Chain A
Amino acid sequence: MTSLRWVLRLGRSGRGRLGLAILLGALASGAAVGLTATSAWLISRASQRPPVLHLMVAIVAVRAFGLARGVLRYGERLTGHDASFRTLGDLRVATVERLEQVLPIRTTAEQGPLTSSELLSRFVDDTDSLQDLWVRVVLPYTASTLVGVGSVALVTVLAPAAGLALAGTLLVAALLAPIVSARAARGADARLAPLRAEYQAGVLDLLDGATELAVYGALPTRLAELERRDELMRRSEARSAVATGYGAAIATLAAGAAMWAGLWFGAGAVDARTLGAVSLAVVVLVPLAVHEVFAGLAPAAHQLPSLASAAARVQHVFQQPAAVQEPDTPQQPPAAPFGLRARGLRARWNPDGPDVLFGLDLDIAPGSQTLIVGPSGAGKSTLAAVLLRLLDPTDGAIELIGGDGATLLHQMAGDDVRRIIGWCAQDAYIFDSTIEANLRLARPDATAEQLIDALRRAGLAHWVGTLPKGLDTMVGEHGSHLSGGQRQRLALARTLLADRPIVIFDEPTEHLDDATAAQLATDIVNATRGATVVVVTHRPELFPIATTTLLLERGVLRTHHFPATQAATP
């Protein structure tokens, strides 16, 4: 629940609209109750056969309420949706701004860093689902509460005991019934969830191996086994069914009790002459109308548990510490040409985990071409992240060496560091947009010639030339319309376009076949002449002209001398 309060503070720009929507919603429901109240009074009074003129006010009121309800509801729905969209915008902007600081996100200890697309997509779904909190929960609950208070006041004025009964039954309908429903649903889900997970695993297992099972004739046995799990699920659901109906039954009982009490206490009040006989129908029928309004709260309450857990997950990500501490007064970088020097570097991704780099020293001379090799898991990507100021080292320091002196990296703003050091990531992210848009994010003001030049240096110009739509070609989700080599080259073109004086390549030839990898390596070497280049790779033989080769092993670097023959063979 605290997460929900936290989320409510995030959406600001929709607040005015939400207030208006609540008002309109309360008035619309109020009109429904008013329609019941005035027609009940009208009928009772009319039965005493007064002159029609005495009924005119009531007749006008009945017609007005009849008209107003639809119109007000229309207004409520429109403003409510408007508020919802504004809130969605707030949520998304807040998400991007916060994520930018906490990347890479560590969700929970078990889940590890939030990098897998599945986790990210769930996170985005969570964020988007939170907009429902305003329009589907806050709005109906607040509007209904206003109507409830007004109706209780009306009935209490007429027959105090009936008013009290109405207040009590409304609390039951608004709070107890949803709680009972939620508890039943939670219990059922707790029993079902493990069975469902087991079933889903079984389905995946079966489909993954469907051909194997079919070839070896084992499909029927496996399907029978799955059916057994299915039967367990069905039984579990059937067992939970008894409790499922309690919430609805309680709400129905509450409405009936309010009406019953209205008749009992109302008739008593008429006997005692504290209530005019023509108002009895109002005391009896208004409770039914208000309870009908409150019946609309069941779906709102139903959503609350899942919203609360979504809010908790989003809040957890938001509350991650920033990966990098930005300096209060950022230092300016020195002048070109640039090199890097690191001493005693220690770093880790997980704040509670072990260090991945232990006391690493590194010297990268201006204009040099350095290879960093080492087994997977040796900390190569961590080193790159630290050099790019995407991650603060836990100990040690990095200096950016320039022509006129050196500046400590942690005294510079992260964005300034990344204007000097570029990174061509392994599996660099390709946006679901055009080739041009993917290039331009490296340099929004690039000219057409610069775009083509970058493509040419990355060895893609010819291919782009053959495309009917050229630079406007959509690359698909995660660049799925491109081959692995084309994706890597598009990322290379983007890096070249950004034109950083120092460029770090992280496993640029990973996942490519030998011929493509060799060609790409040659292209990288040719395209980056003059820049300071660091290539993290485990295929050093592809970069024979590197000036230095360093071996990163268990978190420290050693200069590595490959015998010429060994370097040439994999």
Chain B
Amino acid sequence: MKPLDPRLLRYAKATRAHLAVSVLLGLCTAALVVAQAELLSRGIARVVTGGGRSALTTILVGLAFVVAGRAIVAWFQDSAAQRSSARVKSQLRGQLVARAAALGPDATAARAEVATLATRGIDALDGYFGQYLPQLVLAVIVPIAVLARLLPADLTATVTIALTLPLIPVFMILVGKATEASNAKRWDALGRLSHHFLDVVTGLQTLKLFGRAKAQAESVRRTTDRYRTTTMATLRIAFLSSLVLELIATLSVALVAVGVGLRLVDGGIDLRTGLLVIILAPEAYLPLRQVGARYHAAADGLAAAERTFAILETPPPPNGTITCVPDLRDRGQIRIEGLSVAHPGRTGPAPEPTDVTASLGEIVVIRGPSGTGKTTLLSVLLGARRPAGGTVTISGGGLHVSLADLDVAAWRTHLAWVDQTPYLFHGTVADNVGLAKPGADRAAVRSALDRCGLSSMDADAPVGEGGRLLSAGERRRVAMARAVLRRAPVVLLDEPTAGLDAETEREVLAAVTALAADSVVIMVTHRPAAIALADRVFDIGTRSRPTDTMVTA
């Protein structure tokens, strides 16, 4: 990643303000550095030429001010960096989470990664804003200020510094490029090594069972030793770079000092100027040297920013433009023809194309062995996934529209859905049911719960994180109550009665039947009692094309 990624400026506007403040503080620092050198060289020269301490009063007062000024700048630098960093992080977090949520289930498979990225990952940018970026600014401003001050004082020293100074960034870039590959390889090897160690520790119980645990300690030692030997060989080369950089910086300072000394003997310059040169010369190199040292403080944050940008730059799934959804309550029908879905990351044969038709007032059951794409079919209907092939046609009121042309948000206002493992949010039972219909009154929520076999459940009971305080069956019924409250024309149910006892299942299925009166109900299920309700059953994933079994209810 570049020292200053333009994407950072684009996605986090606060970066600009931070950059401006850093430049301002950099200018202050440069002025104070030059002032300090000026005062010191004058003061020392005055004493050496016989002035005595009494001649130093103004200089000592001036120095005290400079020192105080530098301390204030140092304080402000860190504090301002933290403020800016907090703003930048907040801007990145907000966009990251919104985009991750919008990307849908395929992208949020790495949901734990997004959550870590949004907190610890992005927090690592503190090092970048607090240390690296200000240092980068200093590395530009301070050398220029130093050279500007030295130019009228001592041309030879100025030229020496001006010629050697650019060698440092040039070498940094050259060396950085040369060692990038070997560094990456080294990090990779280190990662593998840690992984191996974790693997051994996690499987230690198993190793112990086979009497291999003690032998494994030796193997860990050998692996680490082997890694050390190979790594040290690369490091000997990699560290040569910093050797060259240090040599350029310190040797130049030494050469400047010797040159100044010789010119002093010749009487070419006076002591004050000589001191000014040797005090300022190292200051010209210092910020550049520290940029390299501070890079590792920034590396973690930059890596996190890189991953964040990758997510932010993932295009959102394509969306249709038609917001006028056919009125499914009027001769509504959903027709799925030749549907197939590509699964990212899943190998093996793709599920076969599927045909399903469901009409208003019908309960349509989809069944088939696991892994044949029943849930995926529902996620296509939900607008959460795009089919790789085939069409879904929504009909109603004499209109026929392809699902792909419909605006997803508009389509979803016509849906109710119960997932196989429904997710309940931290809050009360009523909060979770009310999600389906904001503004629904308590009586409506209560009645929805009652109709899903939850008449004994307290609507104000907390559900805990992820619904942990409820049993799996209760969670499913709360989600079912959502669908009942929603009264949507399309109801999609994924195993709504799995894990329920026969009595509860009857209650839930009664609610399903009631919903079917004025809705299209598509239900994935294995349960015989649920299948018995179906007007039609589609078997998918069997080698032949799905069969449409008419059930005479």
Residues of A at the B interface (CB closer than 8 Å) are: 31-32, 35-36, 39-40, 42-47, 49-50, 52, 55, 58-59, 62-63, 65-67, 69-71, 73-74, 77-78, 81-82, 85-86, 88-89, 92-93, 95-97, 99-100, 103-104, 117, 120-121, 123-124, 128, 196, 199-201, 203-219, 221, 223, 226-227, 230-231, 233-234, 237-238, 240-242, 244-253, 256-257, 259-260, 263-264, 266-268, 270-271, 277-278, 280-281, 284-285, 292, 299, 388, 390, 414-415, 418-419, 422-423, 425, 428-433, 441-444, 477-478, 494, 498, 513
Contacts and interface: CB of A to CB of B under 8 A. Distances in A.
B201 A246 contact: no
23 contacts: A35-B254, A43-B275, A43-B278, A44-B44, A44-B275, A49-B264, A49-B265, A49-B267, A81-B232, A199-B119, A201-B426, A210-B104, A223-B98, A244-B78, A245-B78, A253-B68, A259-B63, A260-B64, A267-B53, A390-B209, A425-B206, A428-B206, A432-B196
A180 to B, nearest CB: 11
B299 interface: no
B419 A204 contact: no
B74 A248 contact: yes
A257 B119 contact: no
Contacts of B79: 241-242, 244-245
B422 A44 contact: no
A251 to B, nearest CB: 8
Contacts of A292: 286
Given A67-B247, A70-B250, A263-B43, A252 B71 contact: yes
B216 to A, nearest CB: 6
Contacts of B543: none
Contacts, number: 400
Interface stretch (B16-24, B80-88, B331-339, B501-509): B80-88
B274 interface: yes
A39 B115 contact: no
Nearest to A63: B254
Task: Identify whether the interface residues of B are mostly helix, strand, loop, or mixed.
Answer: helix
B217 A93 contact: yes
Contacts of A49: 264-265, 267
A62 B258 contact: yes
B141 interface: no
A209 B423 contact: yes
Contact of A39 (B59, B244, B278): B278
Contacts of B195: 432, 477
Contact of B89 (A32, A104, A208, A234): A234
Given A78-B236, A196-B119, A216-B482, A100 B221 contact: no
A432 B191 CA distance: 14
Given A35-B254, A42-B258, A249-B71, A223 B97 contact: yes
B239 A216 contact: no
Interface stretch (B360-368, B390-398, B410-418): B410-418
B38 to A, nearest CB: 13
Tell me which of A43, A205, A217, A244 has the highest count of chain B C-beta atoms within 10 A of its own C-beta: A43
B242 interface: yes
B75 A246 contact: yes
Interface stretch (B168-176, B222-230, B545-553): B222-230
Given A46-B274, A203-B114, A211-B382, A418 B208 contact: yes
A129 to B, nearest CB: 11
A48 B89 CA distance: 58
Given A35-B254, A219-B101, 10 more contacts: A46-B265, A103-B208, A203-B118, A218-B435, A231-B90, A256-B67, A256-B68, A259-B63, A263-B59, A284-B44
A285 B423 CA distance: 67
B235 A81 contact: yes
B118 to A, nearest CB: 5
A234 B118 CA distance: 13
A108 to B, nearest CB: 18
Contacts of A123: 201
